[in-house]
Chain A
Amino acid sequence: MTATIDLSRMPVRTANEVIKGYGAAYKDIEIINPDARHYIGVGLTSPIHVRIHGSAGYFCGGLTDGPIIDVEKNVSWGVGDNMLAGTVVVGGNAGALAGEALRGGTIVIRGNMGSRAGQVMKQGTLCCGGNASFMAGYMMYGGRIIILGDSGERVGEDMAGGEIYVGGRIASLGNDADVADPTDEETASIMAFLDRFGMAFSGRFKKVVCAGKDLRYGTPEPRKRTIPFSSFSGNGTSYWNEKAVEDIRVKSAIGRYRIRGFGTARHVPHFGDIAFRVDVARALEHPETAGPVQMRTFLGDRSGGRALDLSMPVMIAPMSYGALSPRMKAALGIASRLSGISENTGEGGMYSVERAEARQLIAQCLSGRLGWNIHDMKRSDGLEIYISQGAKPGLGGQLMAAKLTREIADMRGIPEGMDLRSPSRHPDILGGDDLIMKVQEFREAVGWRLPVSIKLGGGRTRDDVKIALKDGLDFVELDGLQGGTGAAGSEVAEYVGIPTISALMEALDGLSEIDAAGSLPIVVMGGIQSGVDAAKAIAMGAAAVGLGTAMLIAGGCIGCMDCSSGNCPVGIATQAPDRVAKFDVEKQALRMHAYLESIRYQLAVVTRALGYADIRQLSRDDLVALTPEAAELTRLPYAPEFRHCPAAASPPRKETKAETGTANFPRRSFQLIRAMAQTDASDETAQQGILGALLDPRENPFPESRAAHLDDVVFLSAALTRLVIDPYREACGTWTRISRCIEIGETSGDERSVEIAQPFLFTGFDEAPENIRTALAGALSATGCGYIGRRPPAAGDPAGRPYPWFQIVAGGDRPDPGARGLIYVAGDDFHPQTMARLDAGQLLGLAVKGRHLAEGLPYALEQKLDLLLLDGGGGIETPWTELSTVPDLTLLRDAIRMLRERNMEEEIALLHFGGIRSGTDVAKSLAMNCTASVIGAAMGFAAGGAGDGDSMVFPEAAAVSDLEASMVNWIKATAQEAAIIARCTGKTNVHNLEPEDMRTITLAAHRDLGIPLASGQHRREAF
Chain B
Amino acid sequence: MCAIAGILFKNGRRGHFDMSTGEALTRILDATLHRGPDSAGWALYREPEPGRLRMRFLIPDGGDAESETATIQAVLEAQGVQVIDASPLGCTIGMTVCFEGDLLALTHAIEHQVKLVSVGESLDIIKDVGQPLDLAPRYGIGDFDGAHGIAHIRLATESGVHPDTSHPFWACGFADIATVHNGQITNYWIMRRRLERRGMTFQTENDTELIAVYLAYRMSRGASLEDALKTSLADLDGTFSYLVATRDAIGYAKDKLAAKPMVKYEDDDMIVISSEEVGINRLFPGRALATTEPAPLTYGLWSRSK
Decide yes or no whether B211 CB sits under 8 A from chain A: no
Known interface pairs A744-B198, A987-B237. Does A76 touch B276 (Cβ–Cβ under 8 Å)? yes
Where chain A touches its partner, the secondary structure class is loop
Does residue B71 face the partner (Cβ distance < 8 Å to A)?
Answer: no
Query: Distance in Å from the Cβ of A151 to the closest Cβ of chain B?
Result: 13
- Of the candidate stretches A383-391, A548-556, A718-726, A793-801, the one touching chain B is A718-726
B174: Cβ under 8 A from any A Cβ: no
A20 to nearest B CB, angstroms? 23
Pairs A-B, 8 closest by C-beta atoms: A73-B288, A992-B187, A433-B35, A986-B186, A721-B157, A36-B281, A722-B184, A1023-B160
Task: Check if B259 is an interface residue, CB within 8 A of chain A.
Answer: yes
Q: Which of B7-15, B60-68, B106-114, B189-197 binds A?
A: B189-197
A95 contacts B263, CB within 8 Å? yes
- Interface flag for B175 (CB, 8 Å): no
Expressed in whole angstroms, the Cα–Cα distance for A348 and B146 within the complex equals: 53
Give the residue of B155, B214, B281 whose beta carbon is less than 8 angstroms from that of A433.
Answer: B155
Complex alpha-carbon distance, A1020 and B162, angstroms: 14
Query: In the complex, A1023 Cα to B186 Cα: how many Å?
Result: 18
Distance in angstroms between the alpha carbons of A72 and B288 in the assembled complex: 9
- Pick from A37, A92, A436, A722: contact of B288, CB below 8 A: A92
Q: Tell me whether A992 and B190 are in contact (CB under 8 A).
A: yes
List, in ascending order, chain B residues with CB within 8 A of A153's CB: 295-296
Residues of A within 8 A of B36 (CB): 433
- What's the Cα separation between A95 and B237 when bound, in Å? 25
Partner among A134, A718, A906 whose Cβ is within 8 Å of the Cβ of B258:
A134
Question: Chain A 967-1001 against B: per-residue CB contact (8 Å), 1 yes, 0 no?
Answer: 00000000000000000011111001011100000
Given contacts A76-B277, A721-B1, contact A463 B157 (CB under 8 A): yes
Residue positions of A touching B, CB distance < 8 A: 33, 35-38, 54-55, 57-58, 72-74, 76-77, 91-93, 95-96, 111, 114-115, 133-134, 153, 430-434, 436-437, 440, 460, 463, 466-467, 470, 514, 718, 720-723, 725, 730, 742, 744-746, 900, 903-906, 985-989, 992, 994-996, 1020, 1022-1023
Taking CB atoms, residues of chain A closer than 8 Å to B187 are 987, 989, 992, 994
Chain B residues in 8 Å Cβ range of A730: 257
Interface residue ranges, B against A (CB under 8 Å): 1-3, 34-38, 155-161, 182-184, 186-191, 193-195, 197-198, 205, 214, 217-218, 221, 223, 227-228, 231, 235, 237-239, 256-261, 263, 275-278, 281-282, 285-291, 293, 295-296
Can you name 24 A-B pairs with beta carbons within 8 Å? A55-B288, A72-B288, A74-B289, A76-B277, A95-B261, A95-B293, A134-B258, A153-B296, A431-B1, A431-B155, A431-B183, A433-B2, A433-B3, A467-B1, A467-B155, A470-B155, A721-B1, A722-B184, A723-B184, A985-B186, A987-B187, A989-B187, A992-B237, A995-B189
Contacts of B214 in A (CB 8 A): 744
Residues A430 and B278 in contact in the complex (CB < 8 Å), given A114-B293, A437-B34, A1022-B205: no
Contact of A58 among B182, B190, B276 (CB under 8 A): B276
A38 contacts which of B188, B189, B194, B278 (Cβ < 8 Å)?
Answer: B278
Given A433-B155, A440-B34, are A74 and B277 also a contact pair (CB < 8 Å)?
yes
- Which of the residues B194, B217, B276 comes within 8 Å of A57, measured between beta carbons? B276
Q: Which residue of chain A lies nearest to B261 when distances are taken between CB atoms in the complex?
A: A96
Q: In whole Å, how far is A923's beta carbon from the nearest beta carbon of chain B?
A: 14
Residue B278 contacts which of A37, A133, A723, A745 (CB distance < 8 angstroms)? A37
- In the complex formed, the residue of A with least CB distance to B154 is A433
**Partner of B286 from A33, A115, A460 at Cβ < 8 Å:** A33
Report how far A466 CA is from B158 CA in the complex, Å. 10
Across the interface, name the chain A residue whose C-beta is closest to B2.
A433
Partner of A55, one of B160, B183, B235, B281: B281
Other-chain contact of B186, A742, A903, A987 (Cβ < 8 Å): A987
With both beta carbons as reference points, the residue of chain A lying nearest to B231 in the complex is identified as: A745
- The answer to whether B35 and A906 have CB atoms under 8 Å apart is no
Report A715 CB to chain B, min CB distance, Å.
12
Q: B197, A903: Cβ atoms under 8 Å?
A: yes
B41 to chain A, nearest CB (A): 16
A133-B257 contact, Cβ under 8 Å, with A35-B281, A57-B277: no
Query: Quick check: A745 and B194 within 8 Å, CB to CB?
Result: no
- Chain A residues with Cβ below 8 Å from B221 are 745
> What is the chain B residue whose CB lies nearest that of A900?
B193
Q: Would you call A722 and B186 a contact (CB within 8 A)?
A: yes
Q: How far is the CA of A95 from the CA of B261 in the complex (A)?
A: 10
CB-CB < 8 A to B159: which residues of A? Answer: 1022-1023
Q: Are A744 and B194 in contact (CB under 8 A)?
A: yes
Closest-CB distance, A39 to chain B (whole angstroms): 11
When the two chains form their complex, are residues B277 and A55 in contact, meaning their CB atoms are under 8 A apart? yes
Set of chain B residues within 8 Å of A36, measured between Cβ atoms: 277-278, 281-282
**Selected contact of B237 from candidates A900, A904, A989, A1022, CB within 8 Å:** A989
User: In the bound complex, how far is the Cα of B184 from the Cα of A721, in angstroms?
Assistant: 7
Least distance between B89 CB and chain A CB atoms (Å): 26
Which residues in A have their C-beta under 8 angstroms from that of B183? 431, 723
Which residues of A sit under 8 angstroms from B34, Cβ to Cβ? 433, 436-437, 440
Q: How far is the CA of A433 from the CA of B263 in the complex (A)?
A: 15
CA distance A134 to B189 in the complex (A): 31
Closest to A95 in B: B277
Q: A744-B235, A903-B197, A992-B190 are in contact. Are A430 and B260 (CB under 8 A)?
A: yes
Contact indicator A432/B155 (Cβ below 8 Å):
yes
- Residues of B contacting A746 in the complex (Cβ-Cβ under 8 angstroms): 231
Q: Which residues on B sit within 8 Å (CB–CB) of A514?
A: 161
Cα A133 to Cα B281 with chains together (Å) = 20
Give Cα A989–Cα B257 distance, bound, in whole angstroms.
13
C-alpha spacing A994/B295, complex, angstroms: 29
Q: Complex Cα distance A38/B34, Å?
A: 11
CA distance A900 to B282 in the complex (A): 50
In the complex the two chains form, is B288's CB within 8 Å of A134's CB? no
User: Is A744's CB under 8 angstroms from B218's CB?
Assistant: yes
Residues of B within 8 A of A91 (CB): 288
What residue in chain B is nearest A154 (Cβ atoms)?
Answer: B296
Are A992 and B205 in contact (CB-based, < 8 A)? no
Residues from chain B with Cβ under 8 Å of A111 in the complex: 290
Q: Looking at the assembled complex, report how far the CB atom of A160 sits from the nearest CB atom of chain B, in whole angstroms.
A: 20
Given contacts A96-B261, A466-B156, contact A436 B186 (CB under 8 A): no
Task: List 8 other contacts, CB 8 Å, given A37-B278, A460-B158, A722-B238.
Answer: A95-B261, A95-B277, A96-B293, A134-B258, A432-B1, A433-B182, A744-B214, A989-B237
